[in-house]
Chain A
Amino acid sequence: MELLQGTLDLLILRTLAPGPAHGHAIAKAIERQSEDVLQVEQGSLYPALHRLIRRGWITAEEGVSENNRRAKFYRLTAKGRKQLHLETTRWEKLARAIARILKPAEENPL
């Protein structure tokens, strides 16, 4: 299934909500959590990450991974957390609205 435009940003923010992670871990988490429904070229993660850094929603910091190699860790900022909340609410509203439109009979048994 193709990703909707802008959705990747939201997914990254959601993935980083529990704590910082490096690029590969983010990609894995998105695949896992969406039960492989959302197929995305892992590479497209990077432009998205940098877009988020530029907007100030996440930061990147140098760290050392578990097998002692240098890696970049991405962390949600306060601004990013607020954005995540905003976007999530918007998505939920949208999803509910679409769901109502698609299944009017069940919701409105006249």
Chain B
Amino acid sequence: MNRRQRALAGLEEDIREHLDRETRDNIERGMPPGEARAAAVRKFGNVAMVEEETRAVWRRPWVDQLLQDLGFAFRVLRRAPAFTAVAILTLAVGIGLNTAVFSVVNSVLLRPLDYPHPERLVWLGEYDTFTHHDMVMLSDFAEWRTHARSYSAMAAFSYQQIAVANSRGAFPVSAVLIGGDFWTLSGASPALGRLFAPSEPSSLVVSWEVFQRQFGADPHVIGSAVTVDGRAATVCGVLPKGYRFQFPRWWAVQHPEPVEAYLPIDQGDPKIRGRGGQVVASLKPGVSISQALAELKLIQQSLHPPAPPSRLHIDPLLDQLTSGARRALAVLLAAGSLLLLMASVNIASLLLARASARRRELAIRLAMGAGRFRALRQLLVESLTLALLGGAAGLLLARCAIALLVRLGPQSIPRLDEVAMDICVLAFTICISIAAGILFGVAPGVALWRTDLHDALKEGARSTGGAFGLRIRRLLVAGEMAMAVVLLTGAGLLLASFLRMNARPAGFAPEKVLLMKIRLAGTQYTPAAQQGYRNELLRRLGSTPGVESAGISTQFGWSGAPAFPNDPSPTQTHVLHLNAASPGYFRAIGMQLLKGRWLSDADQGGVVMLNESMAREAFGAVDPIGRSLSAPQPAVVIGVLADLRYSHLDADAPPEVFLPFPNRMMLSFDLAVRAANPAGLLPSIRREMAALDPTQPAYDVKTLDRALADSIAPHRFNLFLLGTFAASAFVLALVGIYGVIAYAVAARTREIGVRVALGAQRGDVVGMVVREGMAIAIAGIVAGMAAALALTRLMASLLYGVNTTDPRIFAAASVTLAVTALLASWWPARKAAGIDPTIALRDE
């Protein structure tokens, strides 16, 4: 029982007791009993009123009034179900999309990593100009770890797909070779067995999922022998169920599957020491990133004396992990805010229309003594109720949107699979709902504030007034048009860039190309045995029915100063993409010869083909056929191929040199097969491979079409979201302008009736109404183009092959909206033209 209840308990008894005593006193004074009671009550006053007043003492006025306002708000909303439904739906879209984007931002950018001391984790990177991602030589890493003093722990990892085989069979799995303090940094502890020490070769640790899926959850697997890519190894531990590899994965776009096996970087093997990897570390408390970087540069300088280590950088791990998504998410958040603003404007506009219809109701309430603040608060409570209902609907919508986003592709944005709604998201949704409610509640409030009581009441039943409201609404709708232009332009730029990425030359047909990776592993594969495997594989595939063309290829990089004829100075450095391929590969991929001849089986070395970009880079405008190319080894150019984007769609084809496939040690290579029906052909290809060697599985089997689509997954994600925003904006703008014009026509029915009665033609009336709509639309569109010009610049890094100020996109967005506005005002205009003056004038 609280104080209020305790104090009020027994109030009636108290009063009855009071009256009894007074009656008794009166009797003692000699009154007859009946009269004594009446006198007592007279002296006391109205008992019911006293009780009510006493209760009123305990009331908290604002709570009661709020409840009263809320009840009234619900009644008002229920009385106008169509308005309420439209408003809630509009808000649900605006708030829901914002909530979905914020959930992504919250999980991807704001929530710390699941590793111990996430705030101290840093990324030590050295940008590699050939692969375009950070790569550190593992030999360098070993030196860093020995000499650097800034870190409490440092670890390296290097991605590799491996084949694990035991008595049950072989399976491919995504693995990382790890070194240094990897287990400490990631906070791992084994669920079964133990984790290998850094210097313990031939060990394997697998994820809980692999343990379940591949080892049948048999605990005896610990300590058992397996082969990893043909080398003997021991399974020494299993990681717990929730453990995940959360470090940046440059390979995730092409290989989204999770990392499920861990091997030590074999310190004894010189070939492995020479490979590249990625480095993470934990800073010692109190050490800053700039201090750590200065130290690291000194160490690197002493390792590779001539060149200063300019491409070294250290970043917070979370920033590194999400750097690619940051800009896209910022753009999406901005777009989301615009959309919510538009939704609010639309509802403000609707409320204004209602406010003029409710002027009389409000005027009467004011006239009867309700304070203006009280009436204003009533309106605000209505808006907030609407906003929170919209927010609740938005939460539901966001749930669906998030599920869709996560399914759209975990490789689009790092950590996307972690996205979920939590308390932060809920708080965000409530905040933006309230903000929106205040935003769209202000306009009718202002209109009310300016209501002249006298006028409102004098107007009688005819509620045409609200010229001020209409003026605000025109302004709001113009603003809405402007925002729609910005969103449509942004989405248009993304769409144009997406179409540009997907543009492909005739005859390329990547959906007919099947790609896979083969890595020959095991001691039996001497260079001669490898060559034998490759030749036999190509021979078998060549005679498989359905195969149009098959070839193998391996790609690598070269950089240096080869002094090409076109170089302005002989010290100019070049980064070259090299692709060593068998003759069938070029036809399998679908490349086109522009000049000269193809490589043939007879070519063993000393000859190369170039793509156009490479030819231009090395020889300028001079015909390269028959000329000598100095790098990577001196060779004669025999052919020029058309540039083709066949590995990444979101960048131009790099300068590339095509060489004959070498007869050297070449453990891993790509196989490309062109066929009319690649999926149907896959079983026979697998059969041929199994017949050659059943222990060598193929990895990454997918069509070229699929691989290319994967390469632009993040772009597809952005386009999908921004496209949804733009489509919603478009609908909102349409509804907005229609609403205002239709309302203006309804308000002017009498005036139009008079005009028609005085001889105005249908065309005049239509023209008048449409002109009014177009004036609003054009003003909004012009303002929107100016805003878009300033804002689309932020999208530059998200686009390919499209300028941020591409006039065609701007024109398309503006014309689309202008035409929409024309239609939206033409419809009510037609209605206005149909007004019968006799009816309009009688309509008093």
Contact = CB atoms under 8 A, between A and B. Distances in A.
A54 interface: yes
Contacts of B8: 50
**Interface-central residue, B22, B54, B56, B58, by most chain A CB under 10 Å:** B54
Given A43-B49, A51-B57, A24 B43 contact: no
**Interface-central residue, B21, B22, B46, B58, by most chain A CB under 10 Å:** B21
Interface string B39-82: 00001111101110110111000000000000000000000000
Interface string A19-49: 0001110011000000000000111101101
B10 interface: yes
B24 to A, nearest CB: 9
A65 interface: yes
A11 interface: no
B844 interface: no
Contacts of A71: 14, 17
Contact of A47 (B3, B14, B43, B54): B54
Nearest to B48: A43
Contacts of A70: 10, 13, 17
Given A23-B14, A23-B17, A46-B15, 18 more contacts: A23-B18, A24-B22, A27-B18, A42-B43, A42-B44, A43-B45, A43-B50, A44-B50, A47-B50, A50-B7, A50-B57, A54-B7, A54-B57, A70-B13, A70-B17, A71-B14, A71-B17, A72-B10
B768 interface: no
Given A41-B43, A53-B7, A62-B10, A46 B17 contact: no
A28 B25 CA distance: 10
Contacts of B86: none
B461 to A, nearest CB: 44
Nearest to A42: B44
Contact of B44 (A41, A50, A60, A65): A41
Nearest to B10: A72
Interface string B1-32: 00100011011011101100110010000000
The contact size tier of chain A is 20 to 34
Nearest to A65: B17
Q: What's the dominant secondary structure at chain A's contact region?
A: helix
A72 to B, nearest CB: 5
Nearest to A31: B43
The contact size tier of chain B is 20 to 34
Interface string A57-100: 00010100100011110000000000000000000000000000
A28 B44 CA distance: 12
**Interface-central residue, A28, A42, A53, by most chain B CB under 10 Å:** A42
Contact of B17 (A24, A44, A50, A54): A24
Contacts of B49: 43
B57 A47 contact: yes
A46 B10 contact: no
A46 B54 contact: yes
Contacts, number: 67
Contact of A43 (B13, B44, B56): B44
B45 A69 contact: no
Contacts of A69: 17
B3 to A, nearest CB: 8
Contacts of A51: 57
Contacts of B57: 47, 50-51, 54
A22 B10 CA distance: 13
Nearest to B14: A72
25 contacts: A22-B18, A23-B17, A23-B18, A24-B18, A41-B43, A42-B18, A42-B22, A42-B43, A43-B46, A43-B50, A46-B11, A46-B51, A46-B54, A47-B54, A47-B56, A47-B57, A50-B7, A50-B57, A50-B58, A53-B3, A53-B7, A54-B58, A60-B7, A65-B17, A70-B10
B45 A42 contact: yes
Q: What's the dominant secondary structure at chain B's contact region?
A: helix
A70 B45 CA distance: 23
**Interface-central residue, A41, A50, A65, by most chain B CB under 10 Å:** A50
Nearest to A69: B17
B87 to A, nearest CB: 41
A3 to B, nearest CB: 13
A44 B683 CA distance: 97
Contacts of B7: 50, 53-54, 60
A60 B46 CA distance: 23
Nearest to B8: A50
Interface in A7-26: 22-24
Nearest to A41: B45
Nearest to A60: B7
A54 B58 CA distance: 7
Nearest to B47: A43
Contacts of B18: 22-24, 27, 42
Nearest to B21: A24
B215 to A, nearest CB: 73
Interface string B609-622: 00000000000000
Nearest to A51: B57
A72 B25 CA distance: 19
Given A44-B50, A47-B56, A22 B45 contact: no
A62 B43 CA distance: 25
A28 B18 CA distance: 11
Nearest to A62: B10
B22 A47 contact: no
A28 B21 CA distance: 10
Contacts of B50: 43-44, 46-47
A22 B16 CA distance: 12
B59 to A, nearest CB: 10
Contacts of A47: 50, 53-54, 56-57
A60 B3 CA distance: 11
Given A47-B50, A50-B7, A22 B17 contact: yes
A42 B44 CA distance: 4
A50 B5 CA distance: 12
A58 B14 CA distance: 16
**Interface-central residue, B15, B46, B57, by most chain A CB under 10 Å:** B57
A62 B56 CA distance: 22
A67 to B, nearest CB: 9
Contacts of A27: 18
Contacts of A22: 14, 17-18
B62 to A, nearest CB: 16
A60 B50 CA distance: 18
Nearest to B22: A24
Contacts of B21: 24
B28 to A, nearest CB: 12
Contacts of B17: 22-24, 65, 69-71
A51 to B, nearest CB: 5
Interface in B408-425: none
A42 B25 CA distance: 14
A42 B45 CA distance: 7
Contacts of B11: 46
A62 B18 CA distance: 15
Contact of A44 (B22, B25, B45, B58): B45
Contacts of A46: 11, 14-15, 50-51, 53-54
Nearest to A22: B17
A35 B378 CA distance: 49
A72 B18 CA distance: 10
Contacts of B53: 44, 46-47
6 shortest interchain CB distances as A-B pairs: A43-B45, A43-B50, A41-B45, A24-B21, A50-B57, A47-B53
Contacts of A54: 3, 7, 57-58
A69 B732 CA distance: 72
Contacts of B45: 41-44
B729 to A, nearest CB: 54
Nearest to A59: B7
B5 to A, nearest CB: 12
Contacts of A62: 10
A108 to B, nearest CB: 44
Contacts of B46: 43
